[in-house]
Structure 1
Amino acid sequence: MDRDKSGRASGGIVIGQIALLLAGLGFIEYAVRQGIIGSLYLSEPTRVVREIVALFANGDIFPNLAVTLQEFLAGYLLAALAGIGTGLFLVLVPRAETFFGPFLSALLAVPKVTIIPLLMLWLGIGLSHKIAIVFLFCFFTIAYNTITGVKQTADNHLKVARVFEATKVQTVLKVVLPSAAPTIFAGLRVSAATGLVGALFGEMIASKNGLGNLLVKATSLYDTAKAFAIITVVTVVSVLLIAAIDWLEKKVVLRWKSS
C-alpha cells in the first residue's frame, strides 16, 4: 500500500511538472504571437523547436558541439585530477595545508573573468585557451569539496585502518576516498555545469567555432529563435553530463561499498 501511494504521489508530481512546463511554454507562445512580448526578446517555443531541428538537419551543430565538448572534457578532466590530488595532498599533509592554504584561498578570490584576457595573451585564442578557462572554472570547486570530504572521514574508520596495519595508500583508497566520495562527486557535479559555461564563455570572447561562437553569431544577427535553440542544446548537454556523473558516482560508490 505504501509503495502504491508513493508511486501515485511521484506520478502526480511528474504530471504536475509537465503541466506547469507546458503551461509556461504555451503562455510564451501566445504572448509572442500576440505581440505582448516582442519577438526580439523572446521566441515562440515552436519556432525554437524548428531551429533545433534545422541545426541538426543541416549539420551545423555537430562540428561546433564537438569542439565545445573537446574543450570542456580536456579542461574538466585536468581540473578533476588536479583538484582531487590537491585536496588529498593538503589534508593528508597538514604542514602543506598550513603553507599552501592561504595561496589557494587568494587564487580562489581572484575573479576568473579578469584572467581571461591574460590567458588570450599567453595562450592565444586556440584550444589551450579554452581548456585553461574550463580548468579555472572547475579546479577550485573540486579541490575545496575534496578537502571538505576528506576532513569528514570518521576517526573510528581511521582507527580501524591503523588496527589492521593498513598502509597509507590502503587507508586512502579503502577509507578516505570512499568516505569523501559523496562530497567529491558533489563538486564534480557542480563543476560540470560551470565548466561548460566556461567553455562557452571563452568561445564567445574569442573563437572561430564552438557553440559559443554560434551563439554570438545568432545574437549579432538578432536571430532570437536560433539563440534560444543553441541555449536549449547547451542545457540538454549539461543535463546529460550531470546524469553521466551521477551514473559514475553510483558505480564508484557501490564498488567501494562492496569492497
Structure 2
Amino acid sequence: MMGNGKSNRLSGGLIIGQIALLLLFLGFIEYAVRKGIIGSLYLSEPTRVIKEIITLFAQGEIFPNLLVTLQEFLAGYLLAAAAGIGTGLFLVLVPRAEAFFGPFLSALLAVPKVTIIPLLMLWLGIGLSHKIAIVFLFCFFTIAFNTITGVKQTAENHLKVARVFEASRFQTIVKVILPSAAPTIFAGLRVSAATGLVGALFGEMIASKDGLGNLLVKATSLYDTAKAFAIITIVTVVSVLIIALIDLLEKKVFLKWKSS
C-alpha cells in the first residue's frame, strides 16, 4: 500500500511538473508576441488561439471539416491496418513469398510518398478516394513491417507447444502468433495513426474543397496565424485521442483476448 501511495505521489508530481512547464512555455510565447519580440505574423498569443478555437466550435465551422478529415483518415487507416497485418502474416508464414515479394515491398517503402501524390490526383481525382489512398500509403508500410517483425519474434517454444497439442494452422495463428506479435503490431498502429492523419491533412492541403487541411490553407493564405494555430491545436488533440483509443483497444480488448 505504501508503495502504491508513493507511486501515486510521484506520478501526481510528474503531471504537475509537466503542466507547469507547459504553462511557462505558453506564458513566454504570450509575453514575447505581446511585446513584439516575436512578430504576430509568425506566432500567435495562446490566448488568441484559445479564443479562435472557441469561435470555430461556436460558429460550427470546424465540425463539417473535421468530419470529412476523420472520414478520410478512418477509411484509409482501417484498409491499411487490414492489408498491413494480412501482408505481414502472409510473408512470414510463407517463407517463399517473403523471399520473392520482400525486395519489392522494401523498394516501395523507399519511394518518397510525396512524389506519388500528384500521380494519385491524375488516377483518382481530388475526391474522397484520393485522400483515402494517401492515408493508406502513409500507414500501410509501417503496419506491414511491424507485423513482420512481431511475428518473427514469436518464441519457438510456444510454437513447439502448439505442435505438441496438435493445434491447427488457424489456432496457432490466433492463439500463439498474433498474441506474441501484438505489442509490435500495436506499436505500428500507433505510429501510423499519427502519420495517417498527417497524410489526410496533406492531401487536403494539396487539393480539396473540404477538411481541416483545406481550412488550414485558407487561414495561412489570409495570414490568419491565430486561426492556423487553432486548427493545428485541434488536429494535435484529435491525434492524441486517436492514439489513446488505440491504447485502450489494446489494453481492454486485445490483452483480455490474449489472456483468455
With the length of structure 1 as denominator, give the TM-score of the two structures: 0.99
Distance in 1 separating the partners of 2:236 and 2:112? 24
- 1:188 Cα deviation after fit: 0.2
Question: Percentage identity across aligned positions?
Answer: 87
CA distance in 2, matches of 1:251, 1:89: 27
The aligned counterpart of 2:243 is: 242
Q: Output the CA distance in 2 between the equivalents of 1:3 and 1:126.
A: 53
**Contact 1:78/1:135 (<8 A) preserved:** yes
In the alignment, is residue 98 of structure 1 matched against residue 99 of structure 2?
yes
CA-to-aligned-CA distance 1:153-200 (integer Å, 9 cap, x gap)? 000000000000000000000000000001000000000000000000
Which runs of structure 2 are paired with 1:1-259 in the superposition (5 Å)?
Answer: 1-259=2-260
Q: What is the alpha-carbon distance in structure 2 between the residues aligned to residue 80 and residue 25 of structure 1?
A: 37
The 2-side partners of 1:22 and 1:164 are apart by 58
> SS of the residue aligned with 2:208?
coil
Any idea what the Cα deviations from partners look like across 1:24-73, whole Å, max 9, x if unmatched?
Answer: 00010011001010000000000000000000000000000000000000
Residue-by-residue CA offset, 1:134-155 (whole Å, 9 max, x unaligned) = 0000000000000000000000
Structure 2 gaps of 5+ residues are: none
Deviates most, 205-214 or 6-15: 6-15
SS of alignment partner, residue 167 of structure 2: coil
SS in 2 for 1:194: helix
Q: Distance in 2 between matches of 1:166 and 1:112?
A: 41
Deviation of residue 8 (structure 1)? 1.4
**CA-to-aligned-CA distance 1:70-112 (integer Å, 9 cap, x gap):** 0000000000000000000000000000000000000000000
User: CA-to-partner distance for each residue in 1:1-27, whole Å, 9 max, x for gaps?
Assistant: 222222211111111111100000001
Farther off after superposition, 9-18 or 121-130: 9-18
Q: 3-state DSSP class of the match of 2:223?
A: coil
Q: Distance in 1 between matches of 2:244 and 2:184?
A: 16
2:245, 2:3 → 1: CA distance?
Answer: 31
Task: Assess if the C-alpha contact under 8 Å between 1:174 and 1:256 holds in 2.
Answer: no
Report the Cα offset of residue 256 of structure 1.
2.7
CA distance in 2, matches of 1:124, 1:62: 24
RMSD of equivalent CA atoms: 0.7
- The separation in 2 between residues aligned to 1:134 and 1:19, in whole angstroms, is 36
Q: Secondary structure at the match of 2:38?
A: coil
- Provide structure 1 residue ranges, at least 5 long, that are not aligned to the other structure: none
**C-alpha distance in 1, partners of 2:66/2:258?**
37
Is the 1:150–1:180 contact (alpha carbons within 8 Å) kept by the matching residues of 2?
yes
Counterpart-to-counterpart distance in 2, 1:103 and 1:257: 33
Runs of 4+ in 1 over 4 A off after TM superposition: none
3-state SS of 2:177 partner = helix
Q: Distance in 1 between matches of 2:199 and 2:29?
A: 29
